[in-house]
Structure 1
């Protein structure tokens, strides 16, 4: 029987902290974020009333992106700030006021552990998971600015090959809203890869109502920024994660050379 525990919780001493980092002393211009890196659920929340078969699906996290993000950050020696908890607990790329922040239904799955939450319950999740993650991103960007280190924000995600019965043809997509520098460069380099179907704001587009990381940490701060979405069946094993990390490391190194040559960073 699935168990749903008290939704009003503190993280227990046995729970991992929400923020995971790699290469914090990096001088690379790229700052990687990964909002849906992990699928942990705090002990106090049980399993949110879901079987394990649901908790390993794309509704719980961005499958494959943890491996890509880690390998990519290490290849470029870039700082990665990632978030360990499942998006079913609280989605760290949604404004906290929107309904999808703590979803009652994800795709066709009802999340019974999210039913009947009070405002205090929701605030507890935000205070324990969402706020520390985004506060850390803020601290990192502030520290980089004080050191005079340029910051190019890249938010890493993955997407399911089929959503609501509709197949998605793209291998990778760039996601953006207001930045006019990084997304065109990414699109140009990705489209030069002859084996790729590249989405331009596909399968998603960034907006202030549906996204948080890029609008708040990228656009409001005037940073060059883009989201990257990779199709999950391409990064479902270590070989796929490695191949995509290698490809993106090469492309982003080329973009860094261009940005430096044009004195944009």
Structure 2
């Protein structure tokens, strides 16, 4: 089921697992002109490459559902605070987004159209079918254009803020899979965690955020590998939380 701001895949169940992906789409509505090279929509500044493919494979399994953004983060970044400049970015990784340079009324229209429906629908879904575990699924670029010398050796990173119950469980499980796992890398969940702060931490719902390096899930084979890996790991985390 898809609306303009979000899609829900799989059958959400109380006591199940909900995958949440704020940056799953590169879609730009036909009536919005961002003023950018269309090729940029294939890059990490517009979409978390590979996460939709992973999520859709997970929801083929009983007990898993996914809540996915249905608009590019360049149109509206739902993993930012509503009053943050980054919620409707003017630039990303050195790329200007001239179509987002509008007045307060234009900003309010964008928030009302995408941001608020996204968060209202996610809140309603969580209330209707409280999951045992929420997994915030993202991906990160191996190299930022704005920081080309920054080393990003991790195959994945685990993010969290104050509530690290699930994070502390999943990190050693992923390391046991032979992965180099970043703890609060390449970003810190203390700084970039708006959706989970609002819908998980504020309600004491167990969660962990995972950032998968994009070269790991850029193609179908990589997405299948990671879906299988998460299907091994997530049930162990959920079981240990009870």
Interval of TM-score (by shorter of Structure 1 and Structure 2): over 0.9
What corresponds to 1:32 in structure 2?
19
Q: How many angstroms does 1:144 deviate by?
A: 2.1
2:137 aligned partner: 156
- 2:177 is the counterpart of 1:197: no
CA separation of 1:251 and 1:176: change in aligned 2, threshold 3 A: same
Offset at residue 136 of structure 1 (A): 1.0
User: Hey, what does 2:194 align to over in structure 1?
Assistant: 212
Residues 126 and 42 of structure 1: CA distance in aligned 2, closer, same or farther (over 3 Å): same
Q: Corresponding residue for 1:181?
A: 165
In structure 2, distance between residues paired with 1:257 and 1:102: 38
Q: How far did residue 28 of structure 1 move?
A: 4.6
Alignment partners' CA distance in 1, 2:77 and 2:129: 26
Match of 1:127 in 2: 112
After TM superposition, the structure 1 stretch with the greater mean CA deviation from structure 2, 66-75 or 228-237, is 66-75
Count the aligned residue pairs: 238
Structure 1 counterpart of 2:152? 168
- The reply to whether residue 241 of structure 1 matches residue 239 of structure 2 is no
Larger radius of gyration: 1
Q: Is the 8 A contact 1:27 1:78 kept in 2?
A: no
Match of 1:93 among 79, 85, 93: 79
Rounded to whole Å, the distance in 2 between the matches of 1:16 and 1:42 is 12
Q: Which runs of 5+ in 1 are unaligned?
A: 1-14
Contact 1:183 1:226 in 2 (8 A): yes
SS at match of 1:154: strand
Q: Which runs of 4+ in 1 moved over 6 A?
A: none
Q: In the TM superposition, what is the alpha-carbon distance from 1:67 to its structure 2 partner? A: 0.3
CA contact (8 A) 2:46 2:73 kept: yes
Q: What is the aligned partner in structure 2 of residue 102 from structure 1?
A: 88
How far residue 191 of structure 1 moved from its aligned partner, in angstroms, is 1.3
TM-score scaled by structure 2? 0.93
Distance between the aligned counterparts of 2:162 and 2:3, measured in 1? 35
Shift of 1:257: 3.0
Any gaps of 5 or more consecutive residues in structure 2?
Answer: none
Conserved? CA contact 1:95–1:211, under 8 Å:
no
The separation in 1 between residues aligned to 2:127 and 2:239, in whole angstroms, is: 24
8 Å CA contact retained: 2:81, 2:87: yes
Native 8 Å contact 1:30 1:151 kept in 2: yes
SS at match of 1:244: helix
